[in-house]
């Protein structure tokens, strides 16, 4: 009985269980006295032994990694710092000298603000609050000057806009960097430009033109979403699927259809089809299995409480692995500030 009770307590500590009508064991348990007989107080040595980070998949602009052995609060801190506190450069001020396109000035400025700019924010300072004029250390200047005209060589009966007009589509590639002050010396091999060349900004017709000057400054997502360095940053807990008894033949095939492809595989054993869990990680937990009366009590769906699968997709300004390390630095800075505050506060 003691062994069974220990096993039950272990599963409550390590797993979040997905039932048919709700989720059990969701609360954090890493504090002393939560479970009798378990020393759950936080311990640095134990944490260092158990904690690990595994890179699962790294592509251009996307990163999937596992962070094992941390609490939900810390995992969520990383996610929120990635979304809102890692800085980037984006268009903040737009000086409109001429805009005869059908896109209003405010809409144009908003669209330009959302274009990700390939410029390492770590090379720049934040601009001071009252500064009207930018300087070379805190501002990047871009110009967009383009005019649409007719193509005199176009065939009379042609209806193809690409043939009839020149410059009728304004793309992000038309934005050119205009160095401020001594920026050419500061960044001799710099290539400041939009991350993507083919972002459509506006459509023009003959005679219409856009002539604007833009100031890019450093900022964070908390201030405006255009400064967020990630397209998505999310995490999920590692799925854990347990078959409580053998599931065979028709039931096995039904079970396989209840989960994402690749989660359940069917093996042939002594002429029978037998289901087994091949790769629980692939599952999205639609809980479809609970719709089948004959299966729902044969499967336990859970998630591993301290195993987080992060996926970070960058907007292309900085690679995702750099973003994650920047987020860690920011969290370390917050902790340091907090400790300094504690040290400087006079004790009552």
Q: Which range marks the domain in which residue 39 is found?
A: 14-83+233-244+298-310
61 and 120 housed in the same domain: no
Q: How many domains does the chain have?
A: 2
Q: What is the pLDDT of residue 348?
A: 63
| Same domain? 19 vs 116 | no
Based on the fold, state whether residues 94 and 215 are members of the same structural domain: yes
Residue 70 lies in a domain: yes
Co-location of 101 and 178 in the same domain: yes
In a domain, 327, yes or no: no
Query: Which of 164, 197, 227 is the C-terminal boundary of a domain?
Result: 227
pLDDT tens digits along 281-316: 999 988 899 999 988 899 999 999 999 999 999 999
- Low-confidence residues in the chain, pLDDT < 50: none
The pLDDT mean for the chain works out to 91
Say if residue 69 is in the same domain as residue 113. no
Tell whether 209 and 305 lie within a shared domain: no
Q: Are residues 156 and 211 in the same domain?
A: yes
Same domain? 204 vs 240: no
Whether 198 maps to a domain, the answer reads: yes
pLDDT at 151: 92
* pLDDT recorded at residue 191: 87
In a domain, 286, yes or no: no
pLDDT the model gives residue 75? 93
Same domain, 167 and 63: no
Q: Tell me, yes or no, whether 208 and 239 share the same domain.
A: no
Q: 38 with 150, same domain? A: no
What stretches of the chain adopt beta strand conformation (E)? 15-19, 22-24, 52-59, 62-68, 88-99, 117-118, 140-147, 149-150, 165-166, 169-171, 176-178, 193-194, 200-203, 209-219, 230-243, 264-269, 272-277, 299-314
Q: 121 and 58 in one domain? A: no
**Residue holding tokens 């096993």?**
7
Cα dihedral across residues 287, 289, 292, 297: positive or negative: negative
CA 179 to chain CA mean position, Å: 31
For residue 272, being part of any structural domain is answered with no
């Amino acid at each position: 009985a003691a062994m069974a009770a220990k096993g039950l307590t272990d599963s409550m500590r390590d797993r979040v269980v997905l039932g048919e009508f709700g989720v059990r064991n969701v609360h954090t348990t890493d504090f002393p006295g939560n479970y009798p007989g378990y020393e759950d107080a936080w311990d640095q040595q134990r944490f260092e032994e158990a904690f690990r980070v595994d890179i699962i998949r790294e592509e251009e602009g996307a990163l999937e990694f596992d962070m094992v052995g941390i609490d939900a609060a810390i995992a969520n801190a990383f996610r929120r710092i990635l979304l809102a506190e890692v800085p980037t450069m984006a268009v903040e001020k737009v000086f409109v000298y001429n805009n005869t396109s059908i896109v209003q000035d405010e809409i144009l400025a908003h669209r330009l603000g959302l274009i990700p700019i390939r410029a390492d924010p770590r090379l720049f300072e934040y601009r001071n609050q009252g500064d009207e004029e930018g300087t070379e250390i805190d501002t990047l200047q871009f110009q967009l000057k383009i005019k649409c005209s007719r193509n005199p060589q176009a065939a009379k009966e042609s209806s193809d806009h690409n043939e009839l007009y020149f410059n009728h589509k304004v793309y992000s590639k038309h934005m050119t960097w205009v160095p401020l002050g001594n920026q050419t010396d500061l960044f001799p091999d710099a290539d400041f430009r939009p991350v993507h060349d083919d972002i459509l900004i506006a459509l023009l017709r003959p005679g219409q033109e856009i002539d604007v000057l833009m100031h890019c400054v450093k900022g964070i997502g908390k201030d405006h979403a255009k400064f967020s360095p990630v397209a998505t940053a999310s995490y999920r807990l590692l799925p854990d699927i347990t078959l409580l008894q053998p599931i065979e033949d028709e039931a096995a095939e039904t079970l396989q259809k209840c989960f994402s492809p690749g989660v359940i595989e069917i093996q042939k054993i002594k002429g029978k089809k037998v289901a087994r869990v091949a790769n629980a990680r692939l599952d999205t937990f639609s809980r479809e299995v609970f719709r089948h009366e004959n299966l729902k009590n044969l499967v336990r769906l859970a998630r591993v409480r301290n195993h987080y699968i992060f996926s970070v997709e960058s907007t292309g300004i900085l690679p995702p692995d750099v973003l994650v390390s920047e987020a860690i630095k920011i969290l370390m800075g917050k902790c340091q500030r907090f400790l300094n505050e504690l040290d400087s506060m006079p004790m009552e």
